[in-house]
Chains A and B, each alone.
Chain A
Amino acid sequence: MKLEMGYIHIKDIRFSEESRIQDGILYVSEKAVRETALEDEKLKSVSFDIARPGASVRITPVKDVIEPRVKVEGRGGIFPGIISKTDTVGEGKTYALKGMAVVTAGKIVGFQEGVIDMTGPGAEYTPFSKTLNLVMVCGAQEGIEPHEYEKAVRLAGFRVAVYIGELARTLTPDETTVYETYGLKEGIEKYPELPRVAYVQMLQSQGLLHDTYVYGVDAKRIVPTILSPTEIMDGAIVSGNCVSACDKNPTYVHLNNPVVHDLFEQHGKTLNFVCQIITNENVYLADKQRSSDWTAKLCRMLDLDGVIVSQEGFGNPDTDLIMNCKKIEAEGIKTVIITDEYAGRDGKSQSLADADTAADAVITGGNANQVVILPKLDKVIGTLDYITKIAGASEQTLHEDGSLEVELQVITGATNETGFNKLSAR
């Protein structure tokens, strides 16, 4: 599959009567995006705000972060099976608005989502302190169930991101990059000497606030399968997933998957990037066993030499990670696994809940239990009402001077396990 990505750099976001992109500035009509968000009657209210890098602004509770994109040529549209009709994506031409994101926030009954600080020490740990964020704080109708509210907010975020992406359809990108992978036979003929490598992406699939969707299908209902790595660039995989905030993949990460991009960097040079394999992290032991069996089998059937495996989450998914690693290695295929750690606040505890000697090549996104003090910032978009309930916070979190004592766990994207960031540990 061949996809040409066009990147349009957004320099600022401003509210305006009429939505348009002009000279790199996104002008948004609040009325239009409000209407788009409130298309779902389950949402009662939505307020929009702009958070710029460097501003003294804290966004919380954060659910999803989404990069606006638009498909200008080729089959399907962005977020197939969800916003766009079902069709195979990943080919043709797609534009992305770089340097900005749509961030969804709002209360959900449950264990609250993450924090994004646009300045200060917290900003060092989240990739989204560097994006211009259009934040939508969504309120639900009375009596809505948590699952319904989560879905409503999730879809509203995608609708708004698609609305904004659409504004770029007729623009000329500032830069373009072509991504191409080949069929099995063609790839072997083209790169006979290069090692055959795939990306095994584990998707979180454990229920409310812990779900992922593939072409709109709940990942807990899939069996491991193959994707062309360009499909994710059109939103084939999206997030329903935000707790704990540090290591769940917001949709922004899925759209910009760094393993996919860094394998493409080497594709045709030092390796043959054959495909992407997706698998899940279910709550039943039999599912874990089946999914890891199938993943290893697919690797073997594709005659791979090596894979990079990325996890999502921690705790029981450590078992999925180790099962995948062991079984793939047992097929004679070399693995590198990417995870994060829960080594305790003093860094002395075991970082993973499961282990095996086969996992001898590990990349880490850092210890999520590290404590940081986030200073009081001038403005909060959303609410601090639930801050002590966030995974990684506690009753001791809110200090008298308004600063927050929290683990990195609460910061959206801080210990990302697709290797999105530079944070690591030894």
Chain B
Amino acid sequence: MHICTVTPISMTVGANRIVPAIAIPHPLGNPALKKDEEKALRRKIVMKALEALTTEVDGQTIFED
């Protein structure tokens, strides 16, 4: 599955399982947060990614919050 910020591109190029990320230079991070908060945020996104991998889909699907 695809973790990315610009989900419209992911849709255009044909990814089937998509999870939105935070920002282009730090898709799985946020430098404004403290280290442990940032790691928790990263874990949340990866958990979403695992949810996408374990979910049956018919076609292109964006797994938002």
Contact = CB atoms under 8 A, between A and B. Distances in A.
Interface of A: 206-207, 283-285, 288, 316, 318-319, 322-323, 353-355
Contacts of B6: 285, 288, 316, 319, 354
A283 B8 contact: no
Contact of A283 (B5, B7, B9, B20): B5
Contacts of A353: 9, 12-13
Nearest to A353: B9
Given A283-B24, A284-B23, A354 B5 contact: no
Nearest to B13: A353
A233 B14 CA distance: 43
B2 to A, nearest CB: 13
A220 to B, nearest CB: 11
Nearest to B8: A319
B25 interface: yes
Contacts of A355: 12
Q: Which of B7, B8, B9 has the most CB of A within 10 A?
A: B8
Closest 7 CB pairs of A and B: A283-B24, A283-B23, A316-B6, A319-B8, A354-B12, A353-B9, A319-B6
A319 B22 CA distance: 16
A323 B7 CA distance: 12
Contacts of A288: 6
19 contacts: A206-B25, A207-B25, A283-B24, A283-B25, A284-B5, A284-B23, A285-B6, A285-B8, A288-B6, A316-B6, A316-B24, A319-B6, A319-B8, A322-B8, A323-B8, A353-B12, A354-B8, A354-B9, A354-B12
B20 A318 contact: no
A207 B6 CA distance: 16
Contacts of B25: 206-207, 283
Contacts, number: 35
Interface string B1-30: 000011111001100000010111100000
Report, as a range, how many residues of chain B touch the other chain: 10 to 19
Contacts of B9: 316, 318-319, 353-354
Contacts of A318: 9
Contacts of B5: 283-285, 316
B43 to A, nearest CB: 20
B41 to A, nearest CB: 14
Nearest to A287: B23
A288 B8 CA distance: 11
Given A284-B22, A319-B9, A354-B8, 18 more contacts: A206-B24, A283-B5, A283-B23, A284-B24, A285-B5, A285-B7, A285-B8, A285-B20, A288-B6, A316-B5, A316-B6, A316-B24, A318-B9, A319-B8, A353-B12, A354-B6, A354-B9, A355-B12
A289 to B, nearest CB: 9
B1 to A, nearest CB: 17
Interface string B23-49: 111000000000000000000000000
A316 B6 CA distance: 7
Nearest to A352: B12
A413 B43 CA distance: 42
A354 B24 CA distance: 16
A21 B24 CA distance: 47
Nearest to B21: A285
Q: Which of A285, A316, A318, A323 has the most CB of B within 10 A?
A: A285
A311 B24 CA distance: 18
Contacts of A316: 5-6, 9, 24
A285 B20 CA distance: 9
A235 to B, nearest CB: 28
A352 to B, nearest CB: 9
Nearest to A316: B6
A284 B22 CA distance: 7
B31 to A, nearest CB: 11
A355 B11 CA distance: 10
A107 to B, nearest CB: 22
Contacts of B8: 285, 319, 322-323, 354
Nearest to A322: B8
Contacts of A354: 6, 8-9, 12
Nearest to A317: B6
